[in-house]
Amino acid sequence: MPEVRRNTLLHLPSDMPAPRTTHWDEDDEDDGPPRIRKRWYHYLPLFLAVLLMLLPHPSLLLVLVNYHLRVLDSPARFLIHLLVTYTLSFLAFCSLILILARDPGPVTSPKAAEAAEDVDEREDMGFMQALLATESDGPHDKRPGKWCRKCSAPKPERTHHCSTCGRCVLKMDHHCFWLGDRCVGHRTYSAFIHLLTCIVLLSVYIAVLCIQAVYFAFTNPLAIDESTPLHDIYLAFYGIIMALVFGSFWMYHIYLTTTNQTTLENVSPFLLLRHLPPLPRPSSGTQILSDPPLEHQLSHAQRRLVRDAHFHVRIYDVGWRKNWAQVMGWDQPWGWANRLLVGGGCKGDGQAFPRNSRADDMLTRLAHDLVSIDKD
């Protein structure tokens, strides 16, 4: 029986690097089951947060009336303190309502819809068309497409999947159980900064106001009744504790805004692996790392290299002025004043962001270092 020769339909050169095609992101949040439907007990932290914001006001009114009106006999100071405290409280509740009412960042845009249609078209291609298709034929010419494995949908830049909410969020910063068990993302992060600012200013103001009242009560014990100093001491400690707790959190987010980072980007150094350019092929031997590399593939030396690079590579840092203008969403030279007073939304559609001009060179250097360490 003659031997049958089997010829392949298509020969691919062995030295051709594998194209960086669309890949699925599997490193977002945890892989637990999504908890989309919220129960009543999920809102208990929000109720407690609102209670903490309202808790000092009865004692504050008593201090203002007894100390500034009856003892000091100063209606002007009484009105000023009343106006400042309740203005800050009103602005804080406005930001809180905006966070609860606004979607943090829906991944529904013309770009995402167009990308989804392109993928559907590629799935409908024939066998030979799929074999002969090149990387430039697809919707992602320059950078590899990012897709969410859990949502089966396009995943824009800086987007993360929250398993608690069961969805992807544009420029997700973190998931907060104190804010109605919701995510803080592209459309609500500026309101979150505004909320923290109002709470910190209100706490410091109340602490300073009541510390002065406590000092007056100790130096003039006969000029004031016995119960008012107790409220002064309570409010002073309350303001100091709230200022320390929320002040440290507020300063951290001020740093993140100044450097144009999110909480996830700051605490997750291995997110840099997503942004690496195509890895250079080693001169000899087999490359162990995938392209782009995954965290579990890295050795101890490579992990340490990525962690060290994380402190220097700030991909979206375009200068503190532009960072603040982008995050807080102002265009005018003095637009920050309006944003600090009433809050606002971020600029852009949350799909793409300007990048640091030096970030690409630093990422290229990191990719070469990872391959060289892998070879050694």
Alpha-carbon distance of 109 to 156, in angstroms, equals: 10
**Residue listed under structure tokens 């999110």:** 262
Say whether 157 sits in a helix, a strand or coil.
coil
Q: Are 269 and 337 in contact (CB under 8 A)?
A: no
DSSP 8-state class, residue 256: H
Alpha-carbon distance of 39 to 36, in angstroms, equals: 10
Alpha-carbon distance of 244 to 78, in angstroms, equals: 26
Residues whose CB falls within 8 Å of the CB of residue 280, separated by 6 or more in sequence, listed in order: 367, 368, 371
Strands (E) in 149-222, as ranges, are: 153-154, 160-162, 167-169, 174-176, 182-184
**Which one of the listed residues 148, 176, 183, 210 is annotated catalytic?**
176
Alpha-carbon distance of 200 to 109, in angstroms, equals: 36
Q: Are 246 and 200 in contact (CB under 8 A)?
A: yes
- 176 classed as catalytic: yes
Question: Are β-strands 146-148 and 153-154 bridged in parallel, bridged antiparallel, or unpaired?
Answer: antiparallel
Residues whose CB falls within 8 Å of the CB of residue 251, separated by 6 or more in sequence, listed in order: none
Q: Which residue numbers are catalytic? A: 176
